[in-house]
Structure 1
Amino acid sequence: MGTPEFAVPSLKILVENGINVVGVVTATDKYGGRGGKQLIESDVKKYALSAGLKILQPSNLKAKSFIDGLKALDADLQIVVAFRMLPVVVWDMPKHGTYNLHGSLLPKYRGAAPIHWAVVNGETETGVTSFKLKHEIDTGDVLFQEKISIGREETTGEVYNRLKELGAEVVLKTVRAIIEDNIQLLPQDASLISKAPKLHREVCEINWEDEMEVIRNFVRGMNPFPGAWFSFSGTVMKVYKTENIKTVHNAPVGTINSDNKNFLHIAAVDGWVSLIDIQLQGKKRMDVKSFLNGIDVRTFISDSLPH
């Protein structure tokens, strides 16, 4: 069970290693593309079709038609990677239960955006966890965990790409252990719990009253999606990379400073944040020098941005 690109390597590794995948559950097709008139299939569905797998796409996970279809698959085990919260009737169906792959070292970063928040919070390591599902989300007993380090300059997108491959290896290891009846489940340590809530638009706004390093981590944590942003001249400016300029200044927090040619700096509490990789709403993503070639920011230099 899964929908986005993150889940594809996990499904693929099972198929390529001879695991009998009796069916795939993924999201319904969504309208998108130009004009929103094209039906878009999930990444998992695209791979499942290429592999000739049976596909279920329920809009309602409690619907009798879906439950009957799932029972008909007669699966011994269900694996969930980046899917929706499941009702008990679904996750409790197989005789070996349902196992989930989560993009963190549980119980750290329980929730919808574990990779984002690990990077935002300046973590130096993260990883993936396979655990047996129970009713409360992300709380089940742990089977396997694997760690990776997070580089100081790494973005969420870069960590995501490494974790989806590591996660696939853990999924295969999990399935093989269950087949061999060689599992030892361990309860999560409640003292280590932290949250990774869903990213809403307002959560992604840059707070210039933070220290520069906090802002830098926030920006790379929101890169490439959904993108950290601030209000620039009445529109949205997304920021994908910054550098810190540690210096004492008397400028109000949020003040814009630029030579209108090479740099665009914004005052934080402990120095200047240099914008490196940006995207003005309605424009292409570009480096700051290219941006300054097409706009006169001198009229905004003395402005203070909303905090």
Structure 2
Amino acid sequence: MERLRIVFMGTPEFAVGILDTIYQHNYDIVGVITAADKPAGRGQQLKYSAVKEYALEKGLRLLQPTNLKDETFLEELRSLNANLNVVVAFRMLPEAVWRMPKFGTFNLHASLLPQYRGAAPINWAIINGESETGVTTFFIDDKIDTGAMILKASTPIGDNETAGELHDRLMDLGKDTVIKTLTLIENGNAETTIQADDADIKTAYKLNRENCKIDWTKPGAEIHNLVRGLSPYPAAWCFFNDNGQEWNVKIYETEFIEGANKTEVGTITADKKEINIAVKDGTIKIKSLQLPGKKRITAKELLNGMTFSEAAKAL
């Protein structure tokens, strides 16, 4: 049995949970690769990725290439003498990188492949109203999230669970799945399954301003799923318009109350405690939201200092 020498590749907090588990299991992490520092915030100061902060804290060898095909980077990667790459929430790798180690390169993806290949699998599983999701480890090939699968682990999705809540649960599920995958590879017992590829496969498209906007003409359940699938980040949004004054509003938490509704779609009604928006098959109750330049607050907190007229609409 050959001891694994691992290069870990990842960027966000989700990847940190997996990297820490590998570290705590005393695997030999010979290098960590993460995104280059990026300017952020009003001051545009350079911000470290979550993985970089962890690697620095633990004293791990750190690489931050801007070009994964650059020969200087590839030489440095070879010099680490890794026999396995582990990838979690990173970018697409060139063949020169994923073929380099003796045991190849495997990725942890936050869906039950082949469903939800792509950039935002946690979000889209909730947005599409799925009742189950999970994680999959697979060997990387020359396409995105299409490689031979090693292990899967599934979990139900709660009716009102948010993307943030599911993210944390899948990270925990992923920790166990990655360690099991490492054990299989180390013992030479990693059997794989080729992914099916048919017309029923759903894609986890990259999130953008357009696909995060609420369409109030949609059924209430779809609106509720969009909100929780984008909460807390990047957050579903819409406009509130009241007598010509318009706000760009982020909405984080809703409740859908199904029922007959004769009120015009998008009409906002509010008392001192609740904000309700009419949809074609019921009412969406707004529970927490954020106005431009303000912090996230509850509907009740907003209504302590604000009132809506009878002409108020969500657009």
**One-letter amino acid matched to 2:305:** G
For 1:198, the equivalent position in structure 2 comes to 206
In the aligned structure 2, how far is the partner of 1:218 from the partner of 1:31? 29
For 1:72, the equivalent position in structure 2 comes to 79
Shift of 1:179: 0.9
For 2:108, the equivalent position in structure 1 comes to 101
User: Does residue 1:238 correspond to 2:253, yes or no?
Assistant: no
Shift of 1:305: 3.6
CA contact (8 A) 1:130 1:144 kept: yes
Q: 1:133 to 1:17 in 2, by over 3 A?
A: same
For 1:281, the equivalent position in structure 2 comes to 292
User: Does residue 1:154 correspond to 2:166, yes or no?
Assistant: no
Question: Given the two structures, how large is their TM-score scaled by the length of structure 1?
Answer: 0.95
SS of the aligned residue for 2:150 comes to strand
Q: Which of 263, 272, 280 does residue 251 from structure 1 map onto?
A: 263
Out of 134-143 and 182-191, give the one that drifted further.
Answer: 182-191
Q: Which of 126, 137, 143 does residue 136 from structure 1 map onto?
A: 143
- Uncovered stretches (5+) of structure 2, i.e. residues with no partner: 1-8
For 1:297, the equivalent position in structure 2 comes to 308
In the aligned structure 2, how far is the partner of 1:161 from the partner of 1:85? 23
Question: Given the two structures, how large is their TM-score scaled by the length of structure 2?
Answer: 0.93
In the aligned structure 2, how far is the partner of 1:271 from the partner of 1:18? 54
CA contact (8 A) 1:5 1:43 kept: yes
In the aligned structure 1, how far is the partner of 2:176 from the partner of 2:89? 15
Shift of 1:34: 4.6
In the aligned structure 1, how far is the partner of 2:99 from the partner of 2:137? 17
For 2:278, the equivalent position in structure 1 comes to 267
Encode CA deviations 1:124-144: one digit per residue, 9 max, x unaligned.
Answer: 111000000000110001000
CA contact (8 A) 2:127 2:229 kept: yes
CA contact (8 A) 1:9 1:165 kept: yes
SS of the aligned residue for 1:190 comes to coil
SS of the aligned residue for 2:10 comes to coil
SS of the aligned residue for 2:211 comes to helix
Shift of 1:282: 1.2
In the aligned structure 2, how far is the partner of 1:209 from the partner of 1:282? 27
Out of 187-196 and 210-219, give the one that drifted further.
Answer: 187-196
CA contact (8 A) 1:106 1:193 kept: no
In the aligned structure 1, how far is the partner of 2:15 from the partner of 2:65? 17
In the aligned structure 2, how far is the partner of 1:42 from the partner of 1:197? 22
CA contact (8 A) 2:261 2:279 kept: no
For 1:228, the equivalent position in structure 2 comes to 236
SS of the aligned residue for 2:29 comes to coil
**One-letter amino acid matched to 2:277:** I
Shift of 1:303: 4.0
Out of 107-116 and 45-54, give the one that drifted further.
Answer: 45-54
For 2:43, the equivalent position in structure 1 comes to 35
CA RMSD, 1 decimal: 1.3
User: Does residue 1:24 correspond to 2:35, yes or no?
Assistant: no
**One-letter amino acid matched to 1:262:** K
In the aligned structure 1, how far is the partner of 2:123 from the partner of 2:163? 6
Trace 1:106-185 onto structure 2 (pairs within 5 A). Answer: 106-185=113-192
For 2:193, the equivalent position in structure 1 comes to 186
**Structure with more of its chain in strand, by fraction:** 2
In the aligned structure 2, how far is the partner of 1:249 from the partner of 1:193? 35
In the aligned structure 2, how far is the partner of 1:249 from the partner of 1:164? 40
- Uncovered stretches (5+) of structure 1, i.e. residues with no partner: none
**One-letter amino acid matched to 1:41:** Y
**One-letter amino acid matched to 2:16:** V
Percent sequence identity is 47
CA contact (8 A) 2:240 2:313 kept: no
In the aligned structure 1, how far is the partner of 2:190 from the partner of 2:97? 22
